[in-house]
Structure 1
Amino acid sequence: MTTTDMVGLAAASLLRFATAGSVDDGKSTLVGRLLHDSKSVLADQLDAVERASRHRGAAAPDLALLTDGLRAEREQGITIDVAHRYFATPRRRFILADTPGHVQYTRNMVTGASTAGLAVVLVDARNGVVEQTRRHAAVAALLRVPHVVLAVNKMDLVGYAESVFAAIAGEFTAYASRLGIGEVTAIPVSALAGDNVVVPSAHMDWYGGPTVLEHLESVPVGTDPTTSAARFPVQYVIRPQTPGHRDYRGYAGQIACGVFRVGDRVAVLPSGRTSTITAIDALGTSVDLAWAPQSVTLRLADDLDISRGDLITPTTSAPPTTRDIEATVCHLADRPLRTGDRVLLKHTTRTVKAIVKDLPSRLSLDDLTHTPHPTHLTANDIGRITLRTSEPLALDPYTNSRHTGSFLLIDPTDGTTLTAGMAGTSFAAPAAPVSTDGEWDF
């Protein structure tokens, strides 16, 4: 079995996907139906849902309660926080992130979809593509989610009309194309009745495509690791002091992307020092090669000064290091982000000091226009940013690697996560100078 075959087999067994939809489009019901009809709900969970549904006067179990677990969510009938559910079928394992639909919870969708390989965008067949639908599609495009599914829900309320579905699918696909989303799989469903969620619908014989679950089980996931530049952020240096192991020096961590082999010539960034991989230890066993996302220990031919936060990469594909970062960000905190703010920047396992040099623009997800040089970014805002760091960082463009092209901005006073960033955005205007002082003067 080749390297590609081994990694492809491992990747194909797990799909991370996120769901998003406007308020009252039936997203939580769709997720609940998917879990229920795929036999992924435990008996005690279903009993709890049935009791809660009867208490609220519902004639049938409210499957939305399988994911809307917070008391405030149940009282208001909305999704507020990201709910993660784990389930499996004979063909694949799944990690589902059910994200909120309200505009004020855009940051929740960003966090939920940031690691997703597929996004399910839900639309109410009666309302069609609305403002929030466009927001969710824009976020999916911004985060480079590889696959997008358009689930046109509540088809039972429009008489299962093919013309309604076709019009919505056409409008959404055209908008997604503008965003750079190459492929959209549109599926007509009724989450309440179970049409085309797990079981094919008897009411829509005009539709010959897969059900939602069939598509989730068959969509290609993962990439050929041999086509990605290998990246290994060092988490811990292993240097035993026990007799018989004093000569052991290993660098432990999780491979972010690509493949490492014994004999590879590698560079350690940001120092730029080079060496050769002499051994790879995985689960206590020496192996000849390892690939993302395995956690391993690398051993090198030379005793280099390597510590947590350094990045090991093949010399042939090492990214450039820089202290000036241009990126697109989504602001997550209630505290605004302003030009001149002093922050901590966390990239993989490395954390450095940084200053916000400029906010070139803020993006409106409604019409994809840019407001130049806003005074600040508030919670849920998406904008462009320039940063200056105290130490060099080895960032890949986010379009090349979602793992090593992303970062977080952190409040240095209390450790609050402020902003999620995606490196490599182009800027039309130069960054404005910022006055700095003291230990933050870079």
Structure 2
Amino acid sequence: MNNLEQYDVVVIGAGPSGALASSLLVQKGWRVLVLEQQAFPRFSIGESLLPQCMAYLEDAGLIDTLHDNAAALGFQFKDGAAFHRAGQNTTINFTEKFTKGPGTTYQVKRADFDKLLADKAQGQGVEIRYKHTVVDYCDEPNGASLVVHNEQQQAYRVNARFVLDASGFGRVLPKLLDLELPSNFPVRSAYFSHFKDNISDTSFDRNKILITVHPQYSDVWYWLIPFSDGTASIGVVAQSERFNDDESSDLLNQFIEQDPYLKTLLAQRELLTPAKNIKGYSANVSKLYGKHFALLGNAGEFLDPVFSSGVTIALKSANLIAPLVDRYLKNEVVDFDAHYAQPLQAGVDCFRTFVTGWYDTRFQDVIFYSEQNTQVREMISAILAGYAWDTNNPFVAQSERRLNVLAQLCQN
């Protein structure tokens, strides 16, 4: 191995949470190194942002580069979500919400979006090394030591006073430190790809993600995320046993054909890339931080893609952790449990309530209820817009109890 390198912070992963956290920390004057296993741009799911994301991007000075490049990259303006179930249609407008803050955002191609943020972070002074893989972690008296393999599989060692794992589904530190726990969600799979959608229906609103419930199975759903260049991300999610062994693209097209509305809406679709699939994506960990590290976003816990909460949780985790790491590096006493793990988990648990309610149909019954109360609707809209940490919202503060009461009212 070569001579030891020393940084204030090493971030594992250059995705949204890694870019945001490293950007915030380098602006505080710290020396930050990001180690990214892949080369950018690279494909990723999680393409429908929530408006809450915009506030976090603005805090890190990353919002202008998003606005400036959105049109050229085919990013789609987004102001809400549309839902379809067995002939029923309803929409949620994110500008009509209980919580103050941005009410619009974008639907993004993650390969370009992630590179955009990473490039901007580099421009702010963050050092990023692509195709460098962390293979070992060891606590030291004054920080942590990492063993890294470069693109040529040559090993070298890096020391950091603090390490942030933003590796997403790679879950580097949970695997190295045996922190992984099974999720309490059933094992589900997602099949997805990009299409030239060729949608001619003038009533279709490209400013909203479309979530469609399967006509036969209430726990199976589709996403349709339009982009401004006439393409779309389309996927189907179900428990793994509902899928057969067909090729991913064939299987995805078969499921699209099973829903009458999507079959008509997407009758002229053209597959642009072979479909991909991920299985058993929901995950959990035994702890979100240690003596010299913290887990961000999907490296900690990933729930489910149904309400596009993944990137929001990732950015929230980065937004929470960066000022704490700044204080830690200044040798201040920091309570990571009280000021990071607990508040982050509170919002995740709120999302969990509504994800669970979607699959057991309680929340579906609320979404499709025909006589909705305006104030309640705005409270629900705020959560779906990503404001799951606003405890002034009764459906955040008491999410499980409130959803149960609301579902019973709708069902009756």
Fold match, TM over 0.5? no
Rg comparison, structure with higher value? 1
The TM-score, its normalising length taken from structure 2, stands at: 0.26
The TM-score, its normalising length taken from structure 1, stands at: 0.24
Q: Which has the higher helix share?
A: 2
